[in-house]
Amino acid sequence: MNIKVVGIAAGLLLASTSAFAQSSTVTGAAGGAATGAIVGGPVGAAVGGIVGGVAGSVIDPPPQQVVTYVQQAPAPAERVVVEKVVVGEPLPETVVVTPVPDDPKYAYAIVNDQRVIVEPSSRKVIQVIE
């Protein structure tokens, strides 16, 4: 019975967050809580909500002017790496990261023929530009 109550609560929480679709932290927390509830019950919901919130906050997309700049900016030295470029994962130290002049919260690099936007301090990939 407790699992059914937790499942209903998680479903309501997930449904209520659709109004907040702009906020990936809220969506990540709700999705994590729902998944955690299914797998691990109430404790899983709590842990899943925290993990989902953290993951959701990492993947906030950069502003459009940053994306436009990176698309049109001069190409820095390109690196070919064995690892696949994955959003949320850091780039290898061998990759040259170039700061975005108008927005120091972002930097970019060209890896395996792809332009990527990264967080300079952690080198985590924020967006891969197709």
The secondary structure of residue 74, as a DSSP letter, is P
The predicted pLDDT at position 62 comes to 85
How far apart CA 123 and CA 114 sit, in angstroms, is 15
Q: Are 31 and 54 in contact (CB under 8 A)?
A: no
Looking at the DSSP assignment, which residues form a beta bridge with residue 109?
Answer: 116
- CA distances (Å), origin 63, targets 23, 70, 97: 14, 11, 18
Q: Which residue has the higher pLDDT, 69 or 3?
A: 69
> What is the SS3 assignment for 81?
coil
- pLDDT over threshold 50, residue 111: yes
Domain boundaries, the chain: 2-58, 64-129
- Tell me what the pLDDT averaged over the chain comes to: 71
How far apart CA 94 and CA 90 sit, in angstroms, is 11
**Which residue has tokens 């502003």?**
63
30-44, 51-65, 113-127: the lowest-pLDDT one: 30-44
What sign results for the dihedral spanned by CA atoms 20, 126, 130, 69? positive
